[in-house]
Amino acid sequence: MPRAPTTPKPPKSSAPDVPPDAHAAPIAEKLASQQKSISIAEFFEKNKQMLGFDSLQRCLLTTVKEAVDNALDACEEAGILPDLLIEIKASRPTRTTSPAQSTQPNQPAQPTANLIVTIEDNGPGIVREQIPRVFAKLLYGSRFHALKQSRGQQGIGISASVLYAQLSTGKPTEIISKIGSGEPAHYCKLMIDTSRNEPEILEEQNTDWDPPHGTRVELEIKASYVKGRRQSVLEYLRNTAIVNPHARITLVDPDGERTVFERATDILPEPPKEIKPHPAGIELGTLVKMLRHTDRKRLSAFLKDSFVRIGAVTSEEICSRAGLLPAADPGKLTHEEAERLQDALRSAKIAAPPTDCLSPISEDLIRKGVLKEYSIDFIATTKRTPAVFNGNPFLVEAAIAYGGDLPADGKADILRFANRVPLLYQQGACAVTHAIERINWKYYGLTQPGGFPSGPCAILVHVASTNVPFTSESKNAIADVPEILDEVENAVRNAASRLRKYLGKQESLSKRKEKENLIKKVLPRLATKVSEILGMGVPNIDPVVARIMGNLLVNRSVRRNESENVFNIEIRIENHTGAAHSMKVHDLIPFEIVGAEPEPRMAPVGDKFDYLWEVSLRSGEGVYLRYAVESDDEGLTLPALLVEGVSAELVTGARVLGGAD
């Protein structure tokens, strides 16, 4: 019997048979339950590369840098000449890198080791209660709210190094600090509780420590120590010594080799003074916050007490520009009134902020710092007048060194500094590099392949500011702020113009020297031949050469008085150049002189005496220096005279010390 047809059932709907918003509330509640705040320590725990901990070599450099910055700041604030010791030694082998991890292809696996980094300073020390927070709490410090030049500002640096130590090795950091000779040293072993951004003290006690005051930090980190590279610890400390010539820095590397960077001056830099914000760069949100939290009840008093360079008269003018009453309550201003006040602040003619909040190095100390660490032929330094960006005062110093031991091939070295701290990474992203690339270096006597100066040259730039605009938290490059770019370019151009004069002068003097050498090859032969014909002794040709070349003649003659065993010495100095010259003449001999005219200054040098005369001659003038010595030698032989303060190419008859720029 045939089956009766059936009516097909409708397909089941995938949608629940409930109102469409019935589950919305439970899902929102579930999502809300998953939301929670994170601490700054947790954030950087997962983003350590933002702080400069992104390669084994850079991790070591960042750790040393942060500790050294803190030590230098502490010493200077306490008025103490810094004496720092940095010791790096291997802990123990931890693992072996695979060939794939090696930086050199086709190389066998290499053992790596944890490094124990110890930084010790002679600063004022840290009081016991503050040690855990200083070293184990990110964004904790005393400089963030202070508007003055300082190396560290955010309170991240050294605590970030402690964080990296516990991340990479699982080891705590050990600190010893002492605040005075009559106080006990305090020892603390700690880590960071990243979930709360709070210190976790594992051990603390009083301990014996010999120094009268100071701080010692010891961390064990996974890192790599390299030698001979620009971005090595050694080069970082060398550059630090250049711009901190008042500091003595000692490095002991993993091989036990000790390198000491001695201080070039015993004078501490002038401490910068804290200033108030300048109204030119105030943001609207910041202004609203200041208005809301001030305890001043009159707007005019708020302006005068909250900003630099605003007095009673100026505050009244700003209120008038903004259409506000000087007696208005700052805390009750509307958003629209705050906007008008900001416009009035920015349009008012207010003097630039004071510059005693900055602590520049000075041209003299930059010169001393560079000459202490490098062997060079020439250096030019310059210092710009202070400028302002977004209300922040800043100042640029620059120097150009040339010749000597600087490598002749390849690009010029760029030494970048911010608030006396070397910047070793991200050179291509830095405003200093960009400003140098804007200059036509061919005009200043250097080649410029690929837009970058080349040759035996080093360019140093130091930017000092209350707020250096770094491009990232790792503080390795300065942002392209137009005002900073212009000031860096102008400072470098100023020094480069003096380099151009030096190179032009050297080219001219080199041609003179070639001519003099040619003359000295011909004249002696001629003098010898004429002497043979006449049967006379060969004369001294230096006076003739000096006249032909238009040089300074420095010639010494010796005549013996046989009856008294006395030698009469006469130094003849003549200026055959077309300009006046001042010089120092050194006669370094193993005798005490008598009857000197004029009387020289004298200083013992080993078993000899350095007799010094200062001589100034106009073009065409001459002078004689005379003295006598006693000696039993029949033929007295004296070393060459030494001249200081003039170029070697301009002197005939004597050796030249140093030369002139």
The answer as to whether 86 is a domain residue is yes
Bridge partners of 583, per DSSP, are 615
Whether residue 598 contacts residue 612, with contact meaning beta carbons closer than 8 Å, is answered with no
Whether residue 654 contacts residue 640, with contact meaning beta carbons closer than 8 Å, is answered with yes
**Structure confidence at residue 586 as a pLDDT band (50, 70, 90):** very high
Say whether both 438 and 405 belong to one domain.
Answer: yes
The answer as to whether 593 is a domain residue is yes
Q: Give the alpha-carbon dihedral of 373, 379, 385, 387, to 10 degrees.
A: -60
Share of the chain above pLDDT 70, in %: 84
Cβ neighbours of residue 389 under 8 Å, at least 6 residues apart?
A: 281, 469, 481, 482, 483, 484
Say whether both 208 and 145 belong to one domain.
Answer: yes
Whether residue 552 contacts residue 660, with contact meaning beta carbons closer than 8 Å, is answered with no
**Structure confidence at residue 340 as a pLDDT band (50, 70, 90):** very high
* Number of residues that this document lists for the chain: 661
Could you read off the pLDDT of 592-624 as tens digits, one per residue?
Answer: 999 999 999 998 877 788 999 999 999 999 999
Q: Is the pLDDT of residue 52 over 70?
A: no
Say whether both 393 and 304 belong to one domain.
Answer: no
449/36 Cα distance (integer angstroms): 54
Say whether both 643 and 561 belong to one domain.
Answer: yes
Amino acid at 332: K
Say whether both 237 and 302 belong to one domain.
Answer: no
The answer as to whether 532 is a domain residue is no
Say whether both 314 and 426 belong to one domain.
Answer: no
CATH number for the domain spanning 421: value is 3.30.230.10
**Structure confidence at residue 12 as a pLDDT band (50, 70, 90):** low
Amino acid at 250: T
Say whether both 209 and 283 belong to one domain.
Answer: no
* 15-19, 58-62, 241-245, 526-530: segment of lowest average pLDDT: 15-19
Please spell the DSSP secondary structure of 544-574, one letter per residue: HHHHHHT-EEEEEEEEEETTTTEEEEEEEEE
The answer as to whether 526 is a domain residue is no
Domain boundary among 199, 234, 261: 261
CATH number for the domain spanning 632: value is 2.60.40.2960
Share of the chain above pLDDT 90, in %: 44
Q: Is the pLDDT of residue 368 over 50?
A: yes
* 41-50, 133-142, 318-327, 383-392: segment of lowest average pLDDT: 41-50
The answer as to whether 104 is a domain residue is no
446/61 Cα distance (integer angstroms): 32
Residue reference for tokens 């209120």: 319
Top-confidence residue, 640 or 511: 640
**Structure confidence at residue 112 as a pLDDT band (50, 70, 90):** low
Could you read off the pLDDT of 135-168 as tens digits, one per residue?
Answer: 888 766 545 556 778 876 554 678 888 888 888 8
Task: Say what angle helices 312-322 and 299-306 make with each other, to 10 degrees.
Answer: 120
Alpha helices in 535-598, H assignment, sequence order = 542-549
DSSP state of 422: E
Q: Is the pLDDT of residue 59 over 50?
A: yes
Tokens of 109: 């696996």
Q: Is the pLDDT of residue 247 over 90?
A: yes
Read off the pLDDT of each residue in 433-460 and give the average, rounded to a whole number. 91
391/394 Cα distance (integer angstroms): 10
Please spell the DSSP secondary structure of 9-45, one letter per residue: PPPPPSS-SS-TTTTHHHHHHHHHHH-----HHHHHH
Could you read off the pLDDT of 292-339 as tens digits, one per residue?
Answer: 999 999 999 999 999 988 999 999 999 999 999 999 999 999 999 999
CATH number for the domain spanning 86: value is 3.30.565.10
**pTM: predicted TM-score of the whole model, two decimal places:** 0.69
Could you read off the pLDDT of 468-516 as tens digits, one per residue?
Answer: 999 887 788 999 999 999 999 999 999 999 999 888 877 665 666 666 6
Tokens of 441: 């270096």
Spatial CA neighbour of 257 closest among 113, 87, 82, 119 = 87
The answer as to whether 361 is a domain residue is no
Between strands 622-630 and 566-575, the pairing is antiparallel
Structural domain for 304, as ranges: 279-347
- Average pLDDT over the chain reads 84
Tokens of 214: 């100071």
Whether residue 192 contacts residue 162, with contact meaning beta carbons closer than 8 Å, is answered with yes
pLDDT at 111: 43
The answer as to whether 273 is a domain residue is no
Taking the mean position of all CA atoms in its chain, how far away is CA 566?
A: 56
Could you read off the pLDDT of 271-283 as tens digits, one per residue?
Answer: 888 888 888 778 8
pLDDT at 97: 46
pLDDT at 227: 82
Say whether both 569 and 464 belong to one domain.
Answer: no
Domain count, the chain: 4
Cβ neighbours of residue 544 under 8 Å, at least 6 residues apart?
A: 523
Say whether both 296 and 341 belong to one domain.
Answer: yes
Between strands 655-657 and 642-644, the pairing is parallel
Q: Is the pLDDT of residue 10 over 60?
A: no
Bridge partners of 623, per DSSP, are 573
The beta-strand segments (E) located in 576-636 are 581-589, 594-597, 601-605, 608-617, 622-630
CATH number for the domain spanning 307: value is 1.10.8.50
Amino acid at 45: E
pLDDT at 9: 57
Spatial CA neighbour of 281 closest among 467, 154, 478 = 467
Q: Which range scores top for mean pLDDT: 32-36, 418-422, 447-451?
A: 418-422
Say whether both 482 and 589 belong to one domain.
Answer: no
Domain boundary among 504, 524, 557: 504
Say whether both 557 and 499 belong to one domain.
Answer: no
Taking the mean position of all CA atoms in its chain, how far away is CA 276?
A: 26
pLDDT at 110: 39
244/65 Cα distance (integer angstroms): 14
Read off the pLDDT of each residue in 166-171 and give the average, rounded to a whole number. 88
Could you read off the pLDDT of 203-243 as tens digits, one per residue?
Answer: 999 999 999 999 999 999 998 898 876 778 999 999 999 99
The answer as to whether 358 is a domain residue is no
Say whether both 257 and 283 belong to one domain.
Answer: no
Q: How far is CA 649 from CA 140, 447, 609, in A?
A: 60, 25, 27
Q: How far is CA 586 from CA 201, 266, 607, in A?
A: 65, 29, 16
Spatial CA neighbour of 355 closest among 380, 383, 382, 381 = 383
**Structure confidence at residue 46 as a pLDDT band (50, 70, 90):** low
**Structure confidence at residue 115 as a pLDDT band (50, 70, 90):** very high
Taking the mean position of all CA atoms in its chain, how far away is CA 29?
A: 55
